[in-house]
Structure 1
Amino acid sequence: MVGLTNESPTFCFDRDELSTADFNVDAFVVKYKREVGLEKLRDDLDLFLRVLKSSMVELINRDFADFLNLSTNLVGFDKSITTLKNPLTAMKTDIMKINETLSIQRQEIEEKLREQKGIRQRKQVIQSIIDVQKSIQQLNELDDAINLSKIDISEMIERAVVQFSFISVQLDKCGQNEPTVESLQLVIDNLRRVFEKRLTTAFINAYREPNMSLLADSLKGLASISLQTIAEQTFAHEIVRPYMEKNIRNALIQSTDISLAFDKTLDFIRTECKAMLYVVERINRECGSHFDFVVNSIFPELIQCLEQSSNILFFVGDPDIFHERYSYWLKFLEQLKSILSKLSEQ
C-alpha cells in the first residue's frame, strides 16, 4: 500500500487492516457496522480513498524526474544488448568446444593411466613368478643338500619354511587365473610333499631319539606350512598305533577288564609323551599353532583299539558291567584332564 504521511486524518478503522493477506470485505463491514455504523464507515472509507489518491499523486510527482531519466537512459539500450550478444554467443560456443576437447583429452589420459596400471600389475606378476621360480630352485638345491648331508635337518627346516612362506606371498600377488601359476603350482605341490615327508620323518625321529630341540623345529616347520593335521596323523600311525597294538590290544585279548587299556594309555601319556606334549604346549603358545596330539592322535587310536578288541564295549544289556565300564571311562577322562592341566602349567 502507498505510504501515507503521519498528518493523515484518523479513521474509525486501522488502515493497515486493509492490506493484510487475509483481508475479508464482508467481515470488515460487519465489524465496523456494529462499532460505528454504516454511515460513519462509508464516510471514513471515502475520506481514506481521497487521501490515498492524493498520496499516490505526490509519490509520482516526487519520483517522476528519476523515472524520466531512466527512460532516457534506456534509449538505444537494445542496440547495446544486440552488440554484446554476438561476442557472448561466440564465446559460449568456444567454451563448449574447449570443454569438449578437454573431456576427450581427459578420457584419453584416463585410458593411458589404466594401461599403465595394467602394465605395472603385469610387471609385478612377472616379477612374482620369477621370484617363485627362484624359490623353487632354492628348495630343489636344499633337497639336494640334505641328500648329500651338506646341511643338518634344523637348518633345512628353517630355510624350507622361509621359502614356502615367501612362495605363498608371491602367489597371492599373482592371482588365481594366471596360467603360469597353475603350472608352477604343480611343481610347488610336489616339493611340498617332499618336504612334508622330510619334516614328518624328522619329527618322528626326534621323538624317538629323543631330541626335543629338533622336535620343536620340525613341529614349527609343519605348522608354518599348514601341515598340523599331517603331523597328528603321522604320530598316530607311527607311534600311537604300534603302542596300542603291542600293549593294549594284547591286554584286552587276555582280559575283559578295559581299565587296563585306560591305565596303559595314561602311562603312555605320562612317560613316553610327556616331554613331547610339553614342547607342543610351548609351541602352541609361541607360534599360535593348534597341535593337539591327545585329542587328534592318541584318543582316536584308543577308541579304535577298544572297538576292535572288545565285541561288546559297554555291555548295555548288563547294568552292572555297563556302570562299571562307564565309571572307568569317567575316571580315565578325569585323570587325563589332570595330566594335561599339569603339562599346561609347566
Structure 2
Amino acid sequence: MAELLPPRSATDLFGDPIESQPLWFKAASFLRPDFDPESYIADLRSFVPLESLAAELRAHLAALKAELVDLINRDYADFVSLSTRLVDVDSAVAHTRAPLAEFRDKVAAFRAVVDSSLANLCSGLRQRAEASAAREILELLLDTFHVVSKVEKLIKALPTTASDLSTADMASIESSAPNSENALQHIESGAHLRETQSILLERIAMQNLPFIENMEERIQNATLLLDDSLGHCFVDSLEHQDANAIYNCLRAYAAIDDTSAAEKHFRTTIVSPLIQKIIPYSHLHVAGGVSSDGLQEDYQQIMQCIEKACKFILEISSTAHSVVIAISANSGLHVFDFLANSILKEVLFALQKGKPGAFSPGRPTEFQRNYKSSLGFLTFLEDCLQYLSDNILHNPYARFQEIAGALDSALMVTAITTAENLHDSQGKHQKLTLKQSITLMESLRSCWSDDVLVLSYSDKFLRLSLQLLSRYSSWLSSGLAARKVRSANLNPTPNIEWAKSAHVEDFIYVIHDVNFLVSELSGDYLRHVLQLLESCSAKVLDLVKQSILQAGKSLEDLLPPVMDTMIEVIVEKSVEDLRQLKGITATYRMTNKLPVRHSPYVSGILRPLKNCSLLINCINPLFISVCALCKSFVLIRYADFMFCLYFYFYFPNARNELLHGAMERITNRYYELASDLVSVARKTESSLLRLRQGAQRRVGASSDALDNNISDTEKICMQLFLDIQEYGCNLAAIGIKAADIPAYRSLWQCVAPEDKQPQIVF
C-alpha cells in the first residue's frame, strides 16, 4: 500500500480559501499533444520567476502522486485482479460482433423501406398538386362559360319598348341604379326605357371576359351585340339629353375602353347636323361679288351651339371619367375628349369641305381676318377645356401642399422613429423601417397615383417628386453634419436634433432604408413613371429618367457619411473603456506586484462592436423559419428582425466595412493611449533613476540592487502585453485577424518583450 499524503488545508488562518494554483499556471497545457517544455518555460519566464515556476511544478507533481495513490488504494482489489480477468477477449468480441452486424442489416433494410415510402409520398403529393391546378383551370373555364351565357341572356332580354319592362326589372333598377331614388320619378315611359337600357348595358360592359379560344366566336358576337346596343342607347340618350342614361353609357364605354366610339356617336348625332347648318358642305359664294369665306360670323354661331347643345355632354363626361377612375385605378382608362375628337374635328372638316378658300394666301386681308377669328375660337375652346380641368383637379396646388406637408411633418421630429405598423395603408407588407422613409415613399407614389396625377400637370408632379427626394436628402445630410459639430450649434432645430441622440441601430435603419429607396427609384418606381408618360417623346422620357436617377444617386452618396457616423458612434463607446488604461500606472508604480492576467477593461473595449455584430449575425435559416411560421416575432422587434435580415444577406460588404472600419479606429486609439502611457512611464522612470544614481554616488552606495529589480515600465509593458494578447483573441472571435492591422502591429512592437516581437502569437 502506498503512503497517503496529508490533505492540504482548504483555508488559511483567517478562513479565506487558498487558491491551489495561480492563474498563470495551466495544468491542462501538459495534456496537449503539441506540448513543448522549453516553449512553455520560455513563455512564462518573461513575467514569472523560475523559482516560483519550479515550486509550482513540484507542488503539482506531489498532487499528481497523491491522486495516483488515492486511485490505487480505492480500487486496489480490482487493480490486482485486472490481469486475471482479461481472458479470451477475442472470442467475446467475435460473439458481440454477430448481433451488431445483424442489427445493422435490419436498420439498412428499414431505411430502404422508409426511403421508398417517402418517394411514393412525394410522388403522390406532386400528383395531387397537379390535379388541384387542373381543377382550378377547369373551374375557371366553367365560370367563363357561365359569364358568357349570362351576357348573352342579358343582351337578348334587353327591353326595346316601354311595354317590355316588368315589375322585376323595375325592382332591379331601383336597387342597382346610381340614382335609384329618382328612378321611379320619371313620368315618360321613354325615359324609363332609356335608363333601363343604359343600366343593363353598363352591367354587361362590366363583365370580365377573358380570351378563351374555343369560345372566341361567341365572345365576338357578344361584343358586337354589346357595341350595337350600347350605341343605339347612347344615341337615343343624346337626342333626348337624358343625363342619367348618358352618364351610365359613358361609364360603360369607359369600362370597355372604347371612348372613341362614344366620341364618334356624339359627333355624328349632335355636332355634325349643327355644323352643317352653319357651314354646309355644298356652300357657294353669294351673289354680288362679296366673298362668303369669312369665318367670324360662323365661329360666333358655332360657339353658341357649343354653349347650348354640347356643354352638357362635356360636363357629364368629366364627371363620369372621375368616377370610373376612382372605381378602377388600374384599368388604363382615358378621358373622353369630346371637345377635340368630336367638336373641333367636325369644325375642321366642315371648313375644309365647305370653305376651302378661307385660308388662301392669295387674299391676305381676308386670310389675316380669318386667322384672328380662328385664334379667338381656339381661345374659347381653351377656356372650356380649362373649366373642365378645374372641375377634375379641384385645385391641384392644394394637393401638392397636402403631399409635401405630410413629409415635412414627418421630418420635423427630435428623435428618429421606427414604424409601428407592419403593413402600409393598402395592407401590403412594409419593407421600410423608419416613419420618415415610409412617408417619403408614400408621398412619391401619391404624386403618380391614378387618383392624383393629371397628365397635363405631369411636369409639376415630377418637380414635386424631386423636391421630396431633395428634402429627405437634406434632412439626412444636415443631421449627420450636426452630429459632428454638436457644440457649435447653440440653437438646435428638430430636423437635425434627431442625429445627435441617435444610436448605432438607428443608423443601420437609415442605411437599410436609403438602399431600399435607391433600388426602388431605379426599379419599379422609375418604370411606373415612364409607363405613365409613354406618350411623350423619347427625349422627354430620357430627361425624366435621368432626373430620377440623379435624385437616387444623391441619396446613395449619403451612405458613406452614414457608415462613417456609425463607426464613430461605436468608437466613442469603446474609448470610454479604453480610458481605464491609465489606471495601470498607479497599479504597478513603486510596488513589487507582477501582472499575471489581462486587465478587466479589455473585455469591454469591443463590446459595442460585438453587440452590433451579434445583432447582425443572429439571423440564421432556422430563426427565419421559426419567425415566419409564428408571425408574432416575440423575440425581437419586427423592425430589428427585418433590418438584420436585410443587412446580413444583402449588404455583406457594408457589414464588413462596419466591422473593419470600427476595429481599425479603435485599435488606433488603443495604440495612441498605450504608447503615450509607456512613453510617460519611461520618462518618469528615467528621471527617478537619475535622481537615485546621484543620491547613491553621494553616499557611495552600490547600484547592483537597483539593476536587479524589475522596473515600473517593464511591469506596465508586461500588463499591456497581456492586455493586447486578450484584445487580439477578442478580435479573432469576431472574425478579424489582429496581425493584419497596422496599428496592432505597432502596439505589439511597443509593449511586447524582445523575444516576442518578431512574431505575433497569442
TM-score, with normalisation over the residues of structure 2?
0.34
Q: Among residues 78, 95, 112, which one is paired with 1:97 in the alignment?
A: 112
Residue 96 of structure 1 and its aligned partner are, at CA, apart by: 0.7
Aligned pair 1:141/2:178, yes or no? no
> Which amino acid in structure 1 is aligned with residue 164 of structure 2?
K
Separation of aligned partners in 2, 1:278 and 1:16? 94
Equivalent pair of 1:204/1:235 in contact (CA under 8 Å): yes
Q: Among residues 193, 216, 219, which one is paired with 1:188 in the alignment?
A: 219
Equivalent pair of 1:136/1:188 in contact (CA under 8 Å): no
Unaligned runs of 5+ in 1: 8-13, 36-40
What corresponds to 1:10 in structure 2?
none
Q: Among residues 51, 64, 67, which one is paired with 1:56 in the alignment?
A: 64
Aligned pair 1:265/2:313, yes or no? no
Equivalent pair of 1:157/1:218 in contact (CA under 8 Å): yes
> Which amino acid in structure 2 is aligned with residue 100 of structure 1?
D
Separation of aligned partners in 1, 2:132 and 2:346? 56
Q: Among residues 333, 340, 343, which one is paired with 1:298 in the alignment?
A: 343
Q: Among residues 233, 239, 249, which one is paired with 1:218 in the alignment?
A: 249
Equivalent pair of 2:194/2:236 in contact (CA under 8 Å): no
1:149-168 equivalences in 2 (<5 Å): 150-151=164-165, 152-166=193-207, 168=208
Separation of aligned partners in 2, 1:190 and 1:148? 26
Separation of aligned partners in 1, 2:254 and 2:58? 107
Separation of aligned partners in 2, 1:249 and 1:339? 30
Range that drifts further, 256-265 or 236-245: 256-265
RMSD: 4.7
Range that drifts further, 74-83 or 302-311: 74-83
What corresponds to 2:237 in structure 1?
206
Per-residue CA deviation, residues 146-201 of structure 1 (Å, 9 max, x unaligned), is 399735444344334434544x2xx44xxx5xxxx324222222232233122222
What corresponds to 2:128 in structure 1?
113
Residue 230 of structure 1 and its aligned partner are, at CA, apart by: 0.8
Separation of aligned partners in 1, 2:57 and 2:319? 107
> Which amino acid in structure 2 is aligned with residue 184 of structure 1?
M
What corresponds to 1:11 in structure 2?
none
Residue 52 of structure 1 and its aligned partner are, at CA, apart by: 4.7
Equivalent pair of 2:198/2:233 in contact (CA under 8 Å): no
Separation of aligned partners in 2, 1:133 and 1:18? 88
* Structure (1 or 2) with the greater helix fraction: 1
Equivalent pair of 1:154/1:218 in contact (CA under 8 Å): no
Separation of aligned partners in 1, 2:108 and 2:292? 106
> Which protein is bigger by CA-based radius of gyration?
1
Percent identity between the aligned chains?
15
Q: Given the superposition, is the C-alpha separation of residues 233 and 6 from structure 1 closer, same or farther in structure 2, using an over 3 Å criterion?
A: farther
Separation of aligned partners in 2, 1:49 and 1:195? 105
TM-score, with normalisation over the residues of structure 1?
0.67
1:15-94 equivalences in 2 (<5 Å): 16=24, 25=41, 51-64=59-72, 82=97, 85-86=100-101, 88-94=103-109
Separation of aligned partners in 1, 2:230 and 2:317? 15
Separation of aligned partners in 1, 2:151 and 2:379? 52
What corresponds to 2:317 in structure 1?
280
Equivalent pair of 1:196/1:222 in contact (CA under 8 Å): no
Range that drifts further, 247-256 or 295-304: 247-256
Separation of aligned partners in 1, 2:319 and 2:232? 21
Equivalent pair of 1:236/1:301 in contact (CA under 8 Å): yes
What corresponds to 1:38 in structure 2?
none
Equivalent pair of 1:306/1:313 in contact (CA under 8 Å): no
Equivalent pair of 2:152/2:222 in contact (CA under 8 Å): no
Residue 232 of structure 1 and its aligned partner are, at CA, apart by: 0.9
Q: Given the superposition, is the C-alpha separation of residues 242 and 79 from structure 1 closer, same or farther in structure 2, using an over 3 Å criterion?
A: same
Range that drifts further, 146-155 or 202-211: 146-155
Range that drifts further, 16-25 or 87-96: 16-25
Per-residue CA deviation, residues 59-118 of structure 1 (Å, 9 max, x unaligned), is 22122356775996x967957964762464145224413321321331242144135314
Relative contact order (alpha carbons < 8 A, sep ≥ 6): 1 or 2 greater? 1
Equivalent pair of 1:240/1:301 in contact (CA under 8 Å): yes
Per-residue CA deviation, residues 10-40 of structure 1 (Å, 9 max, x unaligned), is xxxx8946878995655766888xx8xxxxx
